[in-house]
Amino acid sequence: KNEVEQSPQNLTAQEGEFITINCSYSVGISALHWLQQHPGGGIVSLFMLSSGKKKHGRLIATINIQEKHSSLHITASHPRDSAVYICAVGGTYAGGTSYGKLTFGQGTILTVHP
């Protein structure tokens, strides 16, 4: 079982729909990252969070540390939101040391149709 699991793997939506991508992890962490990757493009960090909720524009990220679960929400989705969304966990405790090495989920491919 992977340490970081995302669902769904593929998601298709119509413009304007509310979108949710889920991430579950199985290790203790210091922070969880949501990243965006466009086809042929680099990776951009959307959020880094260790508790509660963060909002940036139409994007909202939440995390439940006790349940080891995070969600990324996109409100009023738009075709330009089409990308791969990747959940990654960092600060995995190993031998009492925590650091920024990231363990990634497999990504969710989001396609938003006009």
Partner 1 sequence: GAGVSQTPSNKVTEKGKYVELRCDPISGHTALYWYRQSLGQGPEFLIYFQGTGAADDSGLPNDRFFAVRPEGSVSTLKIQRTERGDSAVYLCASSVTRDRVDEQFFGPGTRLTVL
| Spatial separation of the C-alpha atoms in residues 70 and 54, rounded to whole Å | 11
Residue 18 vs 99, nearer CB to partner 1: 99
Please report the DSSP string for 83-103 in residue order.
EEEEEEEE---BTTB----EE
Q: How far is the CB of 75 from partner 1 (least distance, A)?
A: 23
CB count, 10 Å around CB of 64? 12
Q: How far is the CB of 26 from partner 1 (least distance, A)?
A: 15
Residue 16 vs 28, nearer CB to partner 1: 28
Q: Enumerate binding residues for partner 1 (CB under 8 A).
A: 4, 30-31, 33, 35, 41-45, 48, 50, 86, 88, 90-91, 98-107
